[in-house]
Amino acid sequence: MKKIKVLLVDDSAVVRQVLLAILEKTPDIKVVAVASDPVFAMEKMAREWPDVIVLDVEMPRMDGITFLKKIMAERPTPVLICSSLTAKGAETTLQALAAGAVDIIAKPSGGVKNFLLDMAAEFAAAIRAAAVVNVGNLGRRVVSARLEPALKSDADVMLAPGAGSAMSQTTERIVALGTSTGGTQALEAVLTLLPRVCPGIVIVQHMPEKFTASFAERLNSLSHIEVREARHNDRVLPGLALIAPGGKHMMLTRSGAFYHVEVSDGPLVNRHRPSVDVLFRSVAKFAGRNASGIIMTGMGDDGARGLKEMFNAGANTVAQDEASCVVFGMPKEAIKLGAAKRVLPLRELHLAILGVG
């Protein structure tokens, strides 16, 4: 069995020691080097290039962002960012994602050793996921929250399937987007092409708690439409995109002729919170044929069954194509279920949102 070669770069001796101990017990992963900063890391990479790099962002001599940009310019390689769950950490991590990082490993500011030990299996899973990304699409990145172990519940734990609850066709349209690995840059590519006048949009991007607000602010600064993190009972309006908060589920609901979102706690669904399946099911139930659903790049199958429910409810459904995905997991599973009426490249998804593609 070929092992995944990993380089650990972190200025914390505790983090390096704990991660090394964890990964040495993982049969399919081999740590080929550890380094306390990017300068040492480059010396070690000259001798053996890794398959995946686990990188802190705040380090001496050279910061992680500069190092990451150098890697992506010279030899694109999957990079996992190991970042603290702080406002400063979130802002820096989003810069890393924009520069080409593939995922976030969110660590607390205290109790890191016990946290990493508790999350050993999920940490290894994040490395395996990074190792299979489409390196040719490393310019389009995302964050995803995998560091919470749970049974694989389905959307039933949050919302019963719909049964004739949606209104008949109206002029008010709802667009639901779901994505994971590769999604931060994919969403940027789509939302920044939309004009101010467009349907109301609800989005689940697998992302750890505390990162979604900064992510929404970044997209808002780049887009013609308004983009922000969703709040409970927000109304879905034309020209507005609402992003589910990390660590919370988001569901569409209806009050009279108006659509709102519910933001709530609940168990993980498909190992995620927020879950694309939960959002898509709610859209199928309350918007039906008044909605469009788009499933985008991501690892796993979250959203595939929900998109099928939207399809069955009469919604327009789209899957991102393999060539433009960083990871062709979620769209592939949706296509296998017959949930997608069309398969489109990333560059055409904004047209599907506008109903002209």
Q: Catalytic: 302?
A: yes
Q: What does the pLDDT look like over 151-174, one tens digit per residue?
A: 456 666 666 676 545 555 555 899
Q: Which of 10, 206, 301, 350 is catalytic?
A: 206
pTM above 0.85, yes or no: no
Q: What is the CATH number of the domain that holds 292?
A: 3.40.50.180
Residue 175 lies in a domain: yes
The catalytically annotated residue of 277, 301, 302, 321 is 302
CATH number for the domain spanning 110: value is: 3.40.50.2300
Q: How much is the average pLDDT of 252-263?
A: 93
* pLDDT at residue 148, rounded to an integer: 38
The verdict on 260 and 292 lying in the same domain is: yes
Active site residue 180: yes
Q: Of 54-58, 202-206, 348-352, which range is least confident? A: 54-58
Shared-domain flag, residues 189 and 88: no
Q: Containing domain of residue 70, as a range?
A: 4-132
User: Within this chain, do residues 87 and 203 fall inside the same structural domain, yes or no?
Assistant: no
Q: Which of 180, 214, 275, 282 is catalytic?
A: 180
Do 76 and 206 belong to one domain?
no
Residue 187 lies in a domain: yes
Give me the number of domains the chain comprises.
2
If asked whether residues 205 and 79 sit together in one domain, one would say no
**One-letter-per-residue 3-state SS of the chain:** CCCEEEEEECCCHHHHHHHHHHHHCCCCEEEEEEECCHHHHHHHHHHCCCCEEEEECCCCCCCHHHHHHHHHHHCCCCEEEEEECCHHHHHHHHHHHHHCCCEEEEECCCCHHHHHHHCHHHHHHHHHHHHCCCHHHCCCCCCCCCCCCCCCCCHHHCCCCCCCCCCCCCCCCEEEEEECCCHHHHHHHHHCCCCCCCCEEEEEECCCCCCHHHHHHHHHHHCCCEEEECCCCCECCCCEEEECCCCCEEEEEEECCEEEEEEECCCCECCECCCHHHHHHHHHHHCHHHEEEEECCECCCCCHHHHHHHHHCCCEEEEECHHHCCCECHHHHHHHCCCCCEEECHHHHHHHHHCCC
Pair 119, 174 in one domain: no
The pLDDT tens digits of the residues spanning 108-123 come to 666 777 877 777 888 8
Last residue of a domain, one of 97, 132, 167: 132
pLDDT digits (tens, 9 = 90+) for 205-238: 998 888 899 999 999 999 999 999 999 999 999 9
Regarding whether 119 and 54 lie in a shared domain, the answer is yes
